[in-house]
Structures are given as structure tokens and as C-alpha cells.
Structure 1
Amino acid sequence: MTVTAVHELWGRVTDRVRRAGRGGGGPPAIAALDIGTEFAKALVVSVEHDDDGRLVGVVRGTGRQRQGLAHMQSGTVSDIDAVVANCRIAMDAAREMAGRRPMATVIGIAGELVKGATSTMTARRD
């Protein structure tokens, strides 16, 4: 992913956060999920304005779940169902601690075999 692509992605996220913040009901939240070999870790961050009017993130909730020995091997997913379950546990813990549902999630996963791509999806949730 090029620097330009990252900049464009960040611009879309901040525009969406600004629009959501105008709707009332408290500051919008976004989540971060790091899928690692040893742990799946999650953060829920509220997006707020600081004293200078800049958008800043305030961590409101955290969660982590240890990956089993057979779930990930050398940075490669070997049991996708177990990794998804671990990610769900970490995200649920972070959401519960934060007391809010994120409007977007940024996911990070690394490894030799990982190739990057950017996609955007919109889905209605009940």
C-alpha cells in the first residue's frame, strides 16, 4: 500500500467520523483489531475533539485473547475458525469495557504471506 493510498483511506475515515459526530449521542467510536501469532488484541477508541479542535482518539476499552498453539503458526493462520473466535472474544471484551459499539474497525495482520488490499463495505446493523 502506498503512502497516498493510506492518506486517502485516513481521509475517508476522518470524514466519516466527523459526520457521525454531528449526529449527537456522544462521540463516535472506532475499533482496532490486531491479529497476532500469540494474541488477538482489540481497542475501542472514542473520537473526540481536543482543546485545539483536532480529532483525537481516547481509548475506552481493551480486550485480548491468547491464540492456541495450533491456531497460528509462524504468522500464518492455521485454524481460521479458532482465530475468528479469539478475535470475537477480544472485540467483545473491548466493546463491553467501552460501553459502545464502534462504527468502523481497522484490522492489522502481519506475516510473510500477507498481501495488502483496501476495501470498504457498508452494512446495515440492527
Structure 2
Amino acid sequence: MQLTFIIFAIYVYIPLAQNIQQQIELDEIAIKPTVGEPWPKPQSIQTTSTRFAVHPAAFYFLTNETSQQCDLLRNAFDRYYKIIFFPQTYMLHLTDPLLADIKIRHLKETLRNVSDLGDVTLLKRLIVN
């Protein structure tokens, strides 16, 4: 009876141990999310506890001319810029696209009504700002 139990235990333990080892190997290569860090990781990064104020007109993402460029990166840079500097308006597009679309249609309708009234200076001012 004891021999049967030992053989059964070994029979169950060996595949279990192999599965655990495979899972550990998968965990080692898995991509782990970070908090407050860019992904994919840049070639170099410098961090500091100091906070800096950044003006939207003076901030841009820089890629060197010899590096490969693609639409994926350009779109990501554009998206990050909007998230960083315009979180109130841009986040609405991400969290509730239908509501954002309604607000845009309402703004367009308002602009049409203003132009129908002939107040072109107000229309120009709204578009520029």
C-alpha cells in the first residue's frame, strides 16, 4: 500500500514540477508593466525626484535621423503629447468617444450658427483659439 502511494505521488509530482518550471521560465521572459515609466524602454533614461514644468510649445519627442521611423511611433508620440498637455479634452475621447463626438458636433453646429449670423470675427477667434 505504501509503495503504491509513493509511486502515485511521484507520478503526480514529476509533471507538476515540470509545469511549475515551465511557468517560471515563461514568467522570466514575460513583459511586466511598469508604473510611470515609458514602454518600450528607451536606450537610456535619467530620472530625478525634481519636477519640471514643461511648456507645450517647447516640448517635443525627438528621434534621431538615423533611427527607424514608423507610423506606430509617430501616432504614439502624438497620443502621448495630447495626454500630457490636454488631459481634460483628450481623455474624453478615450473614455467616452460617443460623448466626445456629441460635443464636437455641438461645437460645429454652434460655429455654423455663428457664421450664419455673419459674425465672422467671432468665428475666426473661435477657430484660432
Report the TM-score when normalising by structure 2. Answer: 0.21
Structure scoring higher RCO (CA < 8 A, sep ≥ 6) equals 1
More helix by share: 2
- Which of structures 1 and 2 has the bigger CA Rg? 2
More strand by share: 1
